[in-house]
Amino acid sequence: MDAVAPEISTNVALTDMNTLRVSASAEYFCRLSSVDLVQPVLQFARARGLTVTALGGGSNLVLAGDIKGLVVVLDIKGIDVLASENERLDVRFGAGECWHTMVEHCLDQGWYGLENLSLIPGNMGAAPIQNIGAYGVELSDLFVSLDAIEIATGQERVFNREDCEFGYRDSVFKQRLQNQYLITAVTLRLSRQPQININYPALKDALGGLQASPQQISDAVCQIRQQKLPDPAVTANVGSFFTNPKVSEEQALSLISLHPNMPWHVQPDGRYKIPAAWLIEKCGFKGQRYGNVSVHQHQALVLVNHGGTGLEVLVLADKIVQAVADEFGIDLVIEPRVYGRE
């Protein structure tokens, strides 16, 4: 434990470690490049009664205040092929692998399946937390298992797909096992045969409706995203601030009769998914600035921080939730995880 203790710093600024660029600090902080260092660091935290919070690229969280306890960045690298049979292969990725760099690496290797998920910020270890998804593909479509360590006990555990209880931008790690495990590696099943999925209109349009190679799909996704979404390196944001609500058929039909232009997508369970961006825009928020925070002028789902606090961002989010509830009777749910709110 003593060998690790010097690597644990105190009162560390997290401003450059969250893409909303909120200024907040961690009471204790460490960056772990090896899975062997996890146990001694958990012992350090347990001995002092510290809560432990995992941090990846900071692109899906709101720091509402300083973080008490120990913030751990799992910087564990590594890409290992565990099994390979015919066109299928199972590949284990260290939690610290940058998601998009990993997508590019897989394309270079001729390992397919991740193209639609190109250019999502963040690290591999966070991808299962909200079952990241874009353009009709979700992590769970490719997921085999993950390696994790329980924070309270230090016990190692492998979670398979059922254990993760994946849902729409959701998993057991956002629900009943929230903040209880550190994910050290994720194993995905990829394919040497291209897996083409260009059902999303924006993607189909960008590719001219033609068949495309995985590299062309990835390039098209990157191009659309670069045109539509603010780059967090330039404009402080955490991507979509709300998930798209799913409502009953009855509620959807009633809303459609009142708002014939409202877009909707019927889900396999019969519910209707309504784009939250449309609801927010209809309430007049798109492009509006409120002090230090604003709603992006091209994408109403994205809240932008212009030097404000996490709490200021959350006040705007609450205002939007209230307005959408009043206007449409729909309760929007915040997508990023909130930390440091007492």
Contact residues: ligand NAP, CB under 6 A: 133-135, 199-202, 228-229, 239-240, 244, 265, 273, 275, 335
Provide the 3-class DSSP secondary structure of residue 139.
Answer: helix
Of the pair 123, 309, the CB lying nearest ligand FAD is at: 123
Provide the 3-class DSSP secondary structure of residue 333.
Answer: coil
Q: Shortest gap between Cβ of 20 and ligand NAP (angstroms)?
A: 12
Q: Shortest gap between Cβ of 249 and ligand FAD (angstroms)?
A: 26
For the question of residue 48 being annotated catalytic, the response is: no
Rounded CA-CA distance 232/120 in Å is 11
| Whole-Å CA distances, 144 to 147, 200, 266, 269 | 11, 25, 27, 24
Which residue of the set 118, 169, 218, 294 is catalytic? 169
Of the pair 115, 147, the CB lying nearest ligand NAP is at: 115
For the question of residue 169 being annotated catalytic, the response is: yes
Query: Residue 283 burial by CB count (10 A; 0-12/13-18/19+): exposed, middle or buried?
Result: buried
Q: Shortest gap between Cβ of 258 and ligand NAP (angstroms)?
A: 20
The site for ligand FAD (CB under 6 A) is made up of: 19, 53-61, 74, 95, 120-123, 125-127, 129-130, 132-134, 169, 181-183, 229, 232, 237-239, 337
Q: Shortest gap between Cβ of 265 and ligand NAP (angstroms)?
A: 4
Q: Shortest gap between Cβ of 15 and ligand NAP (angstroms)?
A: 21
For the question of residue 240 being annotated catalytic, the response is: yes
- Select from ligand NAP, ligand FAD, none the partner in contact with residue 237, using the beta carbon and a kind-dependent cut-off of 5 to 8 Å: ligand FAD
Q: Where are the alpha helices (DSSP H) in the chain?
A: 38-48, 99-109, 161-164, 201-206, 214-228, 249-258, 276-282, 310-328
In the chain, at which residue ranges do the beta strands (DSSP E only) sit?
A: 9-13, 25-32, 52-55, 61-63, 67-74, 79-85, 88-94, 133-134, 137-138, 143-150, 156-160, 181-191, 236-240, 246-247, 265-266, 272-273, 289-290, 293-295, 302-305, 337-339
- Select from ligand FAD, ligand NAP, none the partner in contact with residue 300, using the beta carbon and a kind-dependent cut-off of 5 to 8 Å: none
Which residue of the set 59, 240, 294, 312 is catalytic? 240
Of the pair 42, 127, the CB lying nearest ligand FAD is at: 127
Q: Where are the alpha helices (DSSP H) in 49-168?
A: 99-109, 161-164
- Select from ligand NAP, ligand FAD, none the partner in contact with residue 228, using the beta carbon and a kind-dependent cut-off of 5 to 8 Å: ligand NAP
The catalytic residues are: 169, 240, 335
